[in-house]
Amino acid sequence: MDAQPLDGKVAIVTGAGGGIGRVYARGLAEAGAAVVLADLTTGSAEEGAAEIAAAGGRAIAVTTDVTSEESVAELAAKAAEAFGRIDILVNNAALMAEIPAGDGLTGIALDMWNKVLAVNLTGPLLCTRAVVPHMREQGYGKIVNQSSGGAFTPSGSYGVTKLGLVSMTLSLARELAPAGIRVNAIAPGFTNTDAGLRSTPPEYRGFIEMTVPFPFGEPDDLLGALIFLSSHASDWVTGHTLNVDGGWIPRT
């Protein structure tokens, strides 16, 4: 594969202010893409864009609320205005550590349930709808949804939304194939980020260490899958959810 397989491409990453999203943005830039870092927190996204620019890449930050149709429309417009096209969308923004632990599906407050659905499931749909006209016009595009290994285990409202995103990936892959748009997902395992650490109690980490072949990963461990699904190397792959989890979720 080329050292910069995304040279000339333009990518949008939501939730790019920190954690996995920040690493995704940097990895896409290192692979040659111009990157739009979208985040609800302006300062952190601007810091990420500045880091990419300092390393010789091209990047801008756009304050974005993925639950707002108007906000994501503005995101797409600013990306196209800055770089002339949109080739890649990474739907990474999500709520996880913010969800109260222990409530379960029967105990979660309805306003929190609706917020989790809005960010984790409606957000990717709105962002997809905003970029599809640009991708359709050029006859090509890559959409990568950030699911989770939690989609395939009992994980409360978070798992419900992440499994819904797997289903959305399948539906969009079929729907958008005639336009030359591929839609896939990554399902990370236990990743050492601030959100991941806050969501995994110490006693559960011990269980993970005993049961998962390679129990904990770093955000950089996800970059190979992201670059593959964002590049021409995966042009014959669509509707697929790729587990990158150290062997946590066995699937057939």
Q: DSSP labels for 184-231?
A: EEEEE-SB-SHHHHHHS-HHHHHHHHHHSSS--B-GGGGHHHHHHHHS
Nearest to 215 by CA among 246, 250, 244, 251: 246
pTM (2 d.p.): 0.94
84 lies in some domain: yes
Q: Widest CA span of the chain, in angstroms?
A: 51
123 lies in some domain: yes
Q: How confident is the model at residue 97 (pLDDT cuts 50, 70, 90)?
A: confident
1 lies in some domain: no
Residue 251 has a pLDDT of 63
> CATH number of the domain that 235 lies in?
3.40.50.720
231 lies in some domain: yes
104 lies in some domain: yes
Q: How confident is the model at residue 215 (pLDDT cuts 50, 70, 90)?
A: confident
4 lies in some domain: no
Q: What CA–CA distance (Å, rounded) separates 243 from 225?
A: 9
190 lies in some domain: yes
Q: What CA–CA distance (Å, rounded) separates 108 from 185?
A: 27
Query: Could you tell me the two tokens for 178?
Result: 């005639």
User: What residues are annotated to the active site?
Assistant: 158
pLDDT tens digits along 26-67: 999 999 999 999 999 989 999 999 999 999 999 999 999 999
Nearest to 93 by CA among 34, 153, 29, 44: 44
Q: Which domain holds residue 58?
A: 10-244
How many folded domains does the chain comprise?
1
116 lies in some domain: yes
